[in-house]
Structures are given as C-alpha cells and as structure tokens.
Amino acid sequence: MRNQSRVMIFGVTGAVVAVGLTVATAGQRTSSARLFPPYTAPRLADGHPDLNGLWQAFVTANIDLDDHQAQSGPHPELLGAYGGWPAGQSIVEGGEIPYRESALARKKQNLENRMKVDVSDDKKWHDLGDPEFKCYMPGVPRATYMPFPFQIVQGSSAYILIAYEFASASRIIRMNWKGDAPTDSWMGWSRGRWEGDTLVVDVTGQREETWFDRAGNYHSDALHVVERYTPVSPFHLMYEATIEDPNVFTRPWKISFPLYRRMEKDVQQLEFKCVPWTEELLFGRFRKTP
C-alpha cells in the first residue's frame, strides 16, 4: 500500500535530490505528480488514505480543454471586463484530443451554438446550447474542473460522496460495486476501488448531453471515464481522467491536473443554484405578454 514510487524530493534549499528513480509503479504517479516530494497520506480506520476535504481545481479547462487565449467572453458591449475569460494551457496529455474525422463537425457546431437554446419541442430540448449555460449538471469529468469547489465525504461505509457546488450536483461512488449502470444519468454511475493510495473511479452510464467544456468538446452515450485521485501532499490531490468513447475518439485520452485543498478558516461549500438565472433564457418566450 505504501509502495508508490519514490521519485524525487525537492530539498528546502531548492536542490533537487533524486531518490531511487524507480519507474516500476510510475503509472501511479502522473508527470505532474512527480513534481511533489514523496508523500504518504493519513489513513482512515480502514487503512485507506483519507481524501476528505473541500477541493478545487485551478485550471481553466472549463473554458476549453485545449490551449486557449484570453477572450472577451460574450457581449463585451454589456459586460466589459466582467465577462472576460482567462487564457489557459491544455490539460490534455499530448496536447490534442483524438477526434474521429467524422466527429469534428459536431464539435464546431457545438461551439457555434453554445449560447443558443430552444426548448419549444421536447424532442429537440437538448439539441442546442452548452449544458453549463442552461445550469445542467455537468457530468464527469467536467464537474471536477468547473471553477467551483467540491467536497469529498469518505467515512466508514461502502459509499463515498462527492458534492459539487455548481448546480448542487452530487454523485455517490459505490466502492467495489459489481454490475453495470442501471440507467443513464447526468453524473453517471460511479464505481470505486483502491489501487494503493489511489482512489480509482470507473464512471459509465452518463447522459450523452453533457459536454467537456464551453468550446463544445463532447462525447456520446458510450462515454467511459476512469478517474484517479491520488493524495500527493496534505493540500493536494493529483487528478487524472482517462476518457474513452469509440463513437467520437480514435483512442482513449487523458487529462490531469492537481486539486487544491481550500484552506480558508471555516471555509464551507456554499450554494450555486443557478436554475433561476436560466428561466428567462429558457422559458421567457412562453411568458404572458401584456
């Protein structure tokens, strides 16, 4: 359980000391994880690492998983610098999402239509618009890199809860659960297991309507995500997700970034219930006109 690879230690003085550069279990530590000195997380009574806490990503991947420059955001004539979106570097390993040639058109279409909605026909309800724009539950992995915190609740039962601030979404991770997702859902069906100090979560049964970002990166209902949460310091988890969807991508691909523990005194998860802010957008056209 503690045999994770010892890779490097950063000395206090800044000197880098290589300690036993083993690669035997290097799969457990991503390249970013290697930036941290070796670490053994505190344990809960069952002997597994304690991942409890309020965590948050600080990448801007919710805007675009790929490299993106700073942009004005929508309607700068109204929003000025308030509406601006920051630049960010790709979190995709290898830098490119391996789309099938035939699947790229849909991505472009999504981008063009990200701020359009039309709910006048049940059958076309989900055809237009970024789900985030409509305050829908974001799905996995997008929920992890939304610019909001989430809380991991890990006790002594066979279930770990992750509760997200955005749209009050949540999901239950069923540890060592056997069997398939009983039905599709927005946050999917999560089955967890421990691999050493890493919590591995296998997510299937996600609704096809969720997107990966505002840039229109998307998937089909064949999406299969495997997440890995590895404690790398008292204040960081390394997060990694492998994304597989043969309908849309030519091969599985991977994203990774650290999660930061929120450290403010008495910090707690608050509400971001955005539904009321979408009502005019979605339903305003059905309002009584004077």
Partner 1 sequence: MKHRSRTSIVVLPIWIMLGALRVVAGQAPPAQPRPAAAPASATPSTPAPKRPASRKAWVPPRTPWGDPDLQGVWNDATSTPLQRPSTRAGKDVLSDEEANEFQQELAFELTRDRRDGGPEADVNRAYNDHWMDARRLKITADRRTSLIVDPADGRIPPLVPLSPERQHARAERAAANTRFNAGMPYGPEEMSLPVRCIIRTDSPPYLPTIYNNDFQIFQSPGFVVIAPEMIHSARIIPLDGRPHLGNNLRQWLGDTRGRFDGSTLVLETTNFRADDGVVFQGANPASYKITERLTRVGRDTIKYEFTVEDPTTWTRPWTAMIPWTKIDPAEQMYEYACHEDNFDIVHLLSGARMREKNGEGKR
Q: How many Å apart are CA 22 and CA 262, to the nearest integer?
A: 32
Contact 194, 154 (CB under 8 A): no
Nearer to partner 1, 20 or 42 (CB): 42
Shortest Cβ 194–partner 1 spacing (Å) = 16
149-153 CB contacts, 8 Å cutoff, 24+ apart: 149/54, 149/55, 149/56, 149/262, 149/269, 150/54, 150/55, 150/56, 150/269, 151/53, 151/54, 151/55, 151/269, 152/51, 152/52, 152/53, 152/55, 152/229, 153/52
Is 286 a binder of partner 1 (CB under 8 A)? yes
Q: Among 12, 16, 81, 270, which residue interacts with partner 1 (rule: CB under 8 A)?
A: 270
Q: Among 187, 199, 238, 248, which residue interacts with partner 1 (rule: CB under 8 A)?
A: 187
Contact 117, 282 (CB under 8 A): yes
Closest CA to 244 of 220, 269, 260, 208: 220
Nearer to partner 1, 85 or 159 (CB): 159
Nearer to partner 1, 93 or 127 (CB): 127
Q: Among 46, 67, 112, 180, which residue interacts with partner 1 (rule: CB under 8 A)?
A: 46
φ and ψ at residue 28, rounded to 5 degrees: -75, -20
Is 264 a binder of partner 1 (CB under 8 A)? no
Shortest Cβ 183–partner 1 spacing (Å) = 5
Is 172 a binder of partner 1 (CB under 8 A)? yes
Q: 230 forms bridges with which residues in the sheet?
A: 238
Q: Among 9, 35, 44, 115, which residue interacts with partner 1 (rule: CB under 8 A)?
A: 44
Q: Among 208, 226, 254, 261, which residue interacts with partner 1 (rule: CB under 8 A)?
A: 208
Residues in contact with partner 1 by CB under 8 A are 44-46, 52, 119-120, 122-123, 125, 131, 134-137, 151, 153-157, 159, 161, 163, 168-172, 174, 182-187, 208-209, 220-221, 266, 268-271, 273, 275-276, 278-279, 283-284, 286-288
